[in-house]
Amino acid sequence: MNTIMRKSVLGIAGLAFAGGIAAGPAMHAEAASVESVKPVAVTVQADKPGVDKAKLIPHGVQGEQSRIELDGEQVENVKAIIAATKKSDMDERAAVVAIATALQESKLENLGHLGERNDHDSQGLFQQRPSSGWGTVEQITDPEYSTTAFLKGLKQVDGWQDMPLTKAAQTVQVSAYPFHYAQWEQQAADLVAEHWNN
């Protein structure tokens, strides 16, 4: 399957599964509350010096976990999210939340507009919408910009550090499927542990 077709299929699946982003950065405080799900014990697979494992998954994961194999482009997007997180003076936990969110929204593919197959104008790693105030198409398809915009929204969520990942992500994203972020927490934590100090 060629890259463009693969991205289109992933994008359509992601939008059908996640519902895309329904709101922009101004709506964070008005996001619907997310009920908690029972945490599951977890261990972070990667063992890199200097990574504070307690910050990666402080409350354990929630529910069954999903995992995908990443190609080179997806790994580069992971590294871009981590770099933007550090540049925003945020810690490893913020990177875990951001990567899990991007795994759910785009499978870490920097998706362009999908035309008529796209239910909104959602694009980029986080499926952010120009019409909802996230930025221009050029901005939200830039991994550094889109990550910084997501993290700016996360910083506005009081107590995000102490929330389950899915609630923190949902408060920023306002997805039609708020619990779907939780399934990516383990893989996101493993990716942060692997790449944080690279």
Render pLDDT for 165-195 as a digit per residue (tens, 0 to 9).
999 999 999 888 888 999 999 999 999 999 9
Asked, for residue 29, whether it belongs to a domain, the answer is no
pLDDT above 90 covers what percent of the chain? 55
Q: What pLDDT is recorded for position 173?
A: 92
Average pLDDT of the chain, as a whole number:
79
Q: What is the pLDDT of residue 122?
A: 82
User: What span, in angstroms and rounded, lies between the C-alpha atoms of 172 and 174?
Assistant: 6
pLDDT value of residue 131:
83
d(CA 71, CA 108): 10
Could you tell me if residue 30 is inside a domain?
A: no
User: What are the φ and ψ backbone dihedral angles of 111, each rounded to 5 degrees?
Assistant: -80, 135
pLDDT 10s digits, 56-103: 988 888 889 999 999 999 999 999 999 999 999 999 999 999 999 999
Find the mean pLDDT for residues 105-109.
95
- pLDDT beyond 80 at 14: no
Domain count, the chain: 1
185-195 vs 92-106: helix crossing angle, rounded to 10: 130
In-domain check, residue 120: yes
Residue 28 lies in a domain: no
State residue 198's pLDDT score: 85
Q: Count Cβ atoms below 10 Å from residue 59 Cβ, excluding itself.
A: 13
Whether 130 is covered by a domain: the verdict is yes
In a domain, 126, yes or no: yes
- pLDDT-derived band at 118, boundaries 50, 70, 90: low
Two structure tokens written together for 150: 């997501």
Give the pLDDT band of residue 53 (cuts 50, 70, 90): confident
Q: 2: pLDDT confidence band, cut at 50, 70 and 90?
A: very low
Q: 137 exposed, middle or buried (CB, 10 Å; 0-12, 13-18, 19+)?
A: middle
Model pTM? 0.75
d(C-alpha 33, C-alpha 48), whole Å = 35
Residue 31 resides in a domain: no
Task: Please give the residue range of the domain that contains residue 58.
Answer: 3-22+37-195
For residue 39, the surrounding DSSP H or E stretch is: strand 39-40
Q: Quick one: pLDDT at residue 120?
A: 67
- Domain-located, residue 32: no
